[in-house]
Amino acid sequence: MTLQGALPLAILGSSLLPGLIIFFLAEPHRRGRTWLNMAGAVIKVLLVAGALLGVYHGATFEVAVPLVPDYPLLLRLDPLALLFVSLSAVLWLLTTVYAVGYLEGSPNRSRFFGFFSLCVSATVGIAMAGNLFTLFFFYEVLTLSTYPLVVHRETEQSLRAGRIYLAYVMTGSAVLLGAVVWLHALAGPFEFAVSGGAVDHLDAEHRPALLAIFLLMVGGFGVKAALVPMHRWLPAAMVAPAPVSALLHAVAVVKAGAFGIARTVYDVFGAELAHDLGGTTVLAAVAGFTIIYGSLRALQQDDLKRRLAYSTVSQLSYIVLGVSLVGPLATIGGLVHLVHQGIMKITLFFAAGNLAETLHLHKVSELDGVGRRMPWTMAAFTVAAFGMMSAPPLAGFVSEWFLGLGALEGDAPWALAVLLASSLLNAAYFLPVVYRGWFRPRRGPWHENLPRHRLETHPWLLLPPVITAGMVIALGLFAASVWSPLTWVRLIAAQEYPL
Amino acid sequence: MSGAVASWLLAAPVALPLGAGLIVPLLRRGRSLAALAAGAGVVAAALLLLAVRDPDGAMELAVGGWSPPLGIRWRADLLAITFLLSTAVIALTVALFAALHLPRAEPALAGRLWAPLLFLWSALNALYLSADVFNLYVTLELLTLAAVMLVTLEGERQALDGAMRYLLVALAGSTVYLLGVALLYHATGTLDLTLAAGAVPGAALALMTVGLMAKGALFPLHGWLPPAHAAAPAPGSALLSAVVVKSAFYILLRLWLEAAPDEHAGRMLLAACGTGAVLWGSLLALTQKRLKLLVAYSTVAQLGYLLLVFPLAVGSWSGPAYAGAVWLAVSHGLAKAAMFLAAGTVMHALGHDRIAELRGLAHHAPVTMLTLALAGVTLMGLPPSGGFVAKWLLLSAAFGTGQWFWALVLLAGGLLAAVYTFRVIGAGFGEAALARVPRRAPQWLAFALATAALLAGVVAELPLRQLQEAAP
């Protein structure tokens, strides 16, 4: 095996192996578990950094493991893959820190961290997939390994959420599988195309079938990407512990859906064919509707996590909208939002988890004056919330700027209107939280959940949101630097739309 | 390789368990050791057969010097070896489980299980190796008798009822099958499948098929399976559900592949029965209140998938459908055996197997819970599992030959399997004490089988390629 092939396997293995070992660790081995997790997470980040450097300088990393005749498990680090891999790796590291602090003293931690690592492995597998077979393979591993995390608390409510989750995503998978195999029956085995589509050589007589397959595939991926009306599982899944909501339901699982849609449009059909078929038009309409609908529903939620969940529903469709508007600028906006939204939303979930864990605050209406008690947490929340409203100079503004330009470029002024309306709605449901936290006085004592610390809460809980909030600022301020996701995304867009 | 060695190698999988089955009841102690030693011998023989296999032709043996058209011809082609080997792996693990689990859980059964189990195994291997329809009939009869013995072991009224129904249906099936055999002999003057190829009269084919469907619990003749399989002791249920019912499918495969390659309407009819099995079996599995019955109905459903191979493999045996169906049979066997063994542990730990009262399993028997979940992955046909690989191939065949209707059956069946699997898993969460804390070692054996079903989805490329190349 060459070094080029070993790297994708190592990136996969750095979370898979610790995960498998952790399953067999007895519950009291807290130290061993933490070490394994942290070592895996740090190694993964280092490996990904190496891969970024390599790919930037033109190296290719690819490995194929035979699995079914003609359909190997193909792992490949192309720029789009690395975008998602880096996001997952960095946020996994931070979430691991957070989760260790969050779960201190609670039962079933080996099971939790075992499945958590499996989820992360599946996510990077999805990111690195070089063909549809591999993508589907890891997509389903993710589906299955997420279930035990959703029902982790084993209450009636969480079991119910687990059932809803499965009902939605499993149906989506069945549709996806059918569509993928159908496409292969038409086109034979193929890999993701580097530029253009992989199936755009098919004859015109196949067009109706191709449109059907496109819609089925996007529909299948759309369940995880929480496109309306397939979004219901996401707010229900908020009963999961905070680290799960933070990493999986703000980043890994939902992004897997959005990423699948991006792959389908860019590397399976090719943007041009997807547009000609009329598929992206349908997709853009659904995404636009989801953006507005999600925001409106978020407005009505008093439960903080549910408000964030509906906000995720809305924000994810920014990515889908960017992909479906078809054009270099919209592509840049959509793909960079894949990273930006992930970092902003994980900050919000970390902060919400801190409020719940430290002071037992779950509802927006309970947050009066919490800014004095937990200033760092609320500061992080505020930064991320302003990012979500696309306030300059934060990360969200960068995404929205390019999405807006893309809407104009793609002759879709309605999309610009949708984006502006959504920003206003974002302000309408985030500002009350910020306002209550900082400017309303608290009546009565706090319900202290944790032993008092010198800091406002457990340091392992506080550090991650502060770091990610810093990233939200940095990604906005230094968007033009060589190392920013924006630069990377420009690279991808240049590949998809050669000038 | 010299002829003598080859003959011994072909005879071993049948002779070893048969001999052990005769000796074991005479032993006062060391019964399980003797049985396990014979079992290990079968695994070794199957592996050797695979290793020395000649890709260009099957190894043959004319038992007792009788040669076709009327003789006893045994042959080991890749299909036979695949079934031999997967059965050997499953049966040996099940036997180990029985040796560890039964003395504590059901001491009364511990000594009496071995003879029927070994006879069953011997009959199965003879069936795989047989190449003519009359020998197949004989092995089927032996198999049925051994299987019925396994079902009756518990000795309760329920078990005897189940066994009686099984026996009656199986005998009726045999009679019908035998009638078909007679018709075939009348029309062609041979009983050898290869010699009769292409000349099988429709009536003979129909009669033999119906008889086999009754034996194999293929929809709509499946009614006897759930009560019989659920009544047997765990190791017995595991073998019955994982391999015994598939022996009928194995013969059907040979019959339709080799002897009657051009029968189109019949193939459609078989697949229609398969569709009925998938839908009806899954729906009944959903409504069961007991775990063992749920698992048994899931067998009815999974057997239905196998029947889809008949229209899907039309035109090219080297296409994906045939390899997919064989791989599905193998993976399902591993997973189903794991599930029934796990159900045995559940029975032992809780004293019952009511699904609504499985609480506490996830905490106190996590390995068993994980076994049920991992085996469930194969039943659902999701990656990474042998079931997924097989389903991918069958789906490819469905879309590739323009028969998308059968693809819908495959996809719907997967969803239904998910519903009944997760019903069990969801019930296991929550805190509650178990009646008895089950031993670990047997649980790990069931886990190993479930893991093997997953591995069948990761190391499938080579065997699948070879199956496609060596397609009859």
User: Model confidence over A88-105: pLDDT tens digits?
Assistant: 999 999 999 999 989 887
The answer to whether residue B426 neighbours chain A at the CB level (below 8 Å) is yes
Tell me the nearest-neighbour CA distance from A170 into chain B, angstroms: 7
Residue B3: predicted pLDDT: 66
The answer to whether residue B469 neighbours chain A at the CB level (below 8 Å) is no
CB contact under 8 A, B399 and A185: yes
With a CB-CB cutoff of 8 Å, which residues 364-393 of chain B face chain A?
366, 377, 382-384, 388-389, 391-393
Answer whether residue B317 shows pLDDT above 80: no
Judge if B327 and B451 occupy the same domain: yes
User: What distance in Å separates the CA atoms of residue B432 and residue B232, rounded to the nearest whole number?
Assistant: 28
CB contact under 8 A, B382 and A173: yes
Residue B180: predicted pLDDT: 93
CB contact under 8 A, A69 and B465: yes
- pLDDT, tens digit (0-9, with 9 covering 90-100), for A16-72: 999 999 988 888 888 888 999 999 999 999 999 999 999 888 888 999 999 998 899
Which of B366, B429, B461 is opposite residue A68, by nearest beta carbon?
B461
CB contact under 8 A, A67 and B458: yes
CB contact under 8 A, B392 and A69: no
CB contact under 8 A, B399 and A144: no
Q: How would residue B67 be classed by pLDDT, with cut points 50, 70 and 90?
A: low
Answer whether residue A443 shows pLDDT above 90: no
The answer to whether residue B427 neighbours chain A at the CB level (below 8 Å) is no
Question: Could you check whether the bond before residue A229 is cis, i.e. omega within 30 degrees of 0?
Answer: yes
Using only C-alpha atoms, what is the Rg of chain A?
A: 21
Q: Sort out which chain B residues have CB atoms less than 8 A from A140's CB and list them.
A: 382-383, 388
Tell me the nearest-neighbour CA distance from A174 into chain B, angstroms: 6
Tell me the nearest-neighbour CA distance from A146 into chain B, angstroms: 13
- pLDDT, tens digit (0-9, with 9 covering 90-100), for A200-232: 888 888 899 999 999 999 999 999 999 989 999
Judge if B301 and B219 occupy the same domain: no
Answer whether residue A250 shows pLDDT above 80: no
The answer to whether residue A233 neighbours chain B at the CB level (below 8 Å) is no
Judge if B212 and B290 occupy the same domain: no
Q: How would residue B68 be classed by pLDDT, with cut points 50, 70 and 90?
A: low
Written as one letter, the residue type at B260 is A
Mutate to test the interface with A, among B316, B322, B421, B429 (most CBs of A within 10 A): B429
If you measure CA to CA, which chain A residue comes closest to B427? A159
Q: Sort out which chain A residues have CB atoms less than 8 A from B464's CB and list them.
A: 68-69
Tell me the C-alpha to C-alpha distance, in Å, between residue A425 and each of A147, A310, A429, B68, B214. Answer: 32, 12, 6, 83, 64
CB contact under 8 A, A163 and B426: yes
Tokens matching residue A249: 């339901």
CB contact under 8 A, B462 and A66: yes
Number of DSSP helices (H) and strands (E) in chain A, helices first: 20, 2
Answer whether residue A128 shows pLDDT above 80: yes
**Interval A439-458 mean pLDDT:** 82
Residue percentage of chain A with pLDDT more than 70 = 100
Judge if B444 and B360 occupy the same domain: yes
Q: Where are the alpha helices (DSSP H) in B131-258?
A: 133-152, 157-188, 202-215, 225-231, 234-239, 245-254
Q: Sort out which chain B residues have CB atoms less than 8 A from A111's CB and list them.
A: 366
> Which of A92-96, B65-69, B160-164 comes out lowest in average pLDDT?
B65-69
CB contact under 8 A, A147 and B362: no
Judge if B274 and B258 occupy the same domain: no
CB contact under 8 A, A170 and B404: no
Q: Sort out which chain A residues have CB atoms less than 8 A from B458's CB and list them.
A: 67
Count how many domains chain A has: 1
Which of B320, B399, B412 is opposite residue A182, by nearest beta carbon?
B399
Residue percentage of chain B with pLDDT more than 70 = 96
Judge if B167 and B50 occupy the same domain: yes
Residue A475: predicted pLDDT: 92
Find how far residue A175's CA is from the centre of its chain.
21
Tell me the nearest-neighbour CA distance from B471 into chain A, angstroms: 15
Tell me the nearest-neighbour CA distance from A149 into chain B, angstroms: 12
**Interval B303-314 mean pLDDT:** 90
With a CB-CB cutoff of 8 Å, which residues 139-178 of chain A face chain B?
140-141, 143-144, 147, 151, 154, 159, 162-163, 166, 170-171, 173-175, 177-178
Judge if B344 and B258 occupy the same domain: no
Q: Do B411 and A177 contact (CB within 8 A), yes or no?
A: yes
Residue percentage of chain B with pLDDT more than 90 = 59
Q: Do B49 and B81 contact (CB within 8 A), yes or no?
A: yes
Nearest residue to B20 (alpha-carbon basis) of B84, B116, B90, B133:
B116
Judge if B158 and B113 occupy the same domain: yes
Answer whether residue B125 shows pLDDT above 60: yes
Answer whether residue B237 shows pLDDT above 90: yes
The parent domain of residue A109 ranges over: 3-496
CB pairs under 8 A between A and B: 82
Residue finishing a domain among B242, B262, B282: B262
Count how many domains chain B has: 2
Q: How would residue B298 be classed by pLDDT, with cut points 50, 70 and 90?
A: very high
Task: Decide which of B108 and B276 is more confident.
Answer: B276
Judge if B213 and B330 occupy the same domain: no
Nearest residue to B292 (alpha-carbon basis) of B346, B365, B359:
B346
Residue finishing a domain among B235, B262, B289: B262
Residue A450: predicted pLDDT: 75
Judge if B185 and B159 occupy the same domain: yes
With a CB-CB cutoff of 8 Å, which residues 294-353 of chain B face chain A?
320, 323
Residue B69: predicted pLDDT: 63
If you measure CA to CA, which chain B residue comes closest to A174? B411
The parent domain of residue B435 ranges over: 266-472
**What are φ and ψ of residue A302, in 5° steps?**
-95, -30
- pLDDT, tens digit (0-9, with 9 covering 90-100), for B450-472: 999 999 999 988 889 888 887 76
Tell me the nearest-neighbour CA distance from A67 into chain B, angstroms: 5
Mutate to test the interface with B, among A145, A181, A183 (most CBs of B within 10 A): A181
Q: Sort out which chain A residues have CB atoms less than 8 A from B413's CB and list them.
A: none
Mutate to test the interface with B, among A158, A177, A239 (most CBs of B within 10 A): A177
Judge if B274 and B238 occupy the same domain: no
Answer whether residue B66 shows pLDDT above 70: no
**Interval A266-274 mean pLDDT:** 91
Find how far residue A398's CA is from the centre of its chain.
18
A50 contact partners, CB below 8 Å, separation of at least 6: A7
Tell me the nearest-neighbour CA distance from A135 into chain B, angstroms: 11
HSE-up (13 A, CA, CB side) for residue A116: 35
The answer to whether residue B417 neighbours chain A at the CB level (below 8 Å) is no
CB contact under 8 A, A141 and B388: no
Q: Sort out which chain B residues have CB atoms less than 8 A from A151's CB and list them.
A: 426, 429
Find how far residue A344's CA is from the centre of its chain.
11
Mutate to test the interface with B, among A16, A67, A152 (most CBs of B within 10 A): A67
**Interval A476-485 mean pLDDT:** 88
Residue B29: predicted pLDDT: 84
If you measure CA to CA, which chain B residue comes closest to A150? B426
Residue A411: predicted pLDDT: 87
If you measure CA to CA, which chain B residue comes closest to A139? B383
**What are φ and ψ of residue B198, in 5° steps?**
80, -10
Which of B396, B426, B458 is opposite residue A181, by nearest beta carbon?
B396
Quickly list DSSP for B377-430: HHHHT-SSSHHHHHHHHHHHHHHHTT-HHHHHHHHHHHHHHHHHHHHHHHHH-S
Judge if B186 and B241 occupy the same domain: yes
